[in-house]
Amino acid sequence: MKGVAVLTEGRSGSNWLGSLTNATGVMGRSAEWLKSAYLGSEPRAYAALEEAVMRKSSTENGRFAVKVFPRHLIWSKEKCGKDFLLEIRQDKDLGFILLERRDRLRQAISFYRASVSRLWTSREQDSGSVVPYSFAGISQAFFQIEQSYAFWRAYLNLSELPYRRFVYEDLLADPQPYLDAVAELLDVPAPATVPVSQLRIQRDDVTEEWARRFRQEAGHKGAIEAIGDAPVPRTLDNLARFATKRPLNRRRF
């Protein structure tokens, strides 16, 4: 059984690229499957997790695709005690793609806006509420994004895994090289033409205004001014950590 793991972080273009590979019907069903909200359940044992992910992520031709952020891999390790990607490689042919976005600041702005509005794709219904500018929110997202990409480079290097690297901005004009790479890893024919995506780019004038404003403020305040400003998120994970006297997780994303 062949599969592909797209190692990345949020707002990297992974939704758009996943919509293109998914549209072929033969390249698996790419999504954040190491996330209970996508699985529709929260498996308590590794075997149940793997079964659920394989079932959700596979197309009828036996190919599967999973999009993974560092926190997804950490979640599955804490939940089931195993490295999901390592376990999958034991009996399946798993290829790796590292997907990055060159413009980290605009990625951070997009990340912060989506985390507040909960609008992660253009298909989701906009409630009309205005997301306020936040130097702290953007700064924290920026640092997390950089840490996530560093995590994946370290993971791949320590595991000595071969991988293909793509940059979102390089694919905007022509995503065919990405489709060709996924097709090769999965040993399926590449589409002759790029499928039509139902998603649209969410970047707008607000992004550009905030990028200018953030650069100006960072020049005055310094890059790490906002790092300690974030309150501890009120999540179920932190509730459990508090109950068991473990350190609280201050990550908002």
pLDDT digits (tens, 9 = 90+) for 48-70: 999 999 999 999 999 999 999 99
239 has pLDDT over 60 = no
- Supply the pTM of this predicted model: 0.88
Strand (E) positions, the chain? 2-7, 63-68, 93-100, 164-167
Neighbours of 15 (CB within 10 A): 20
| Domain at 2-243, CATH homologous superfamily | P-loop containing nucleotide triphosphate hydrolases (3.40.50.300)
* Residue 200 banded pLDDT, cuts 50, 70, 90: confident
Q: What average pLDDT is seen over the chain?
A: 90
pLDDT exceeds 50 at position 138: yes
Q: Please give the pLDDT value at position 45.
A: 95
Residues 6+ apart with CB under 8 A from 187: 2
Closest to 144 (Cα-Cα) out of 118, 97, 99, 107? 107
Confidence of residue 18 (pLDDT cuts 50, 70, 90): very high
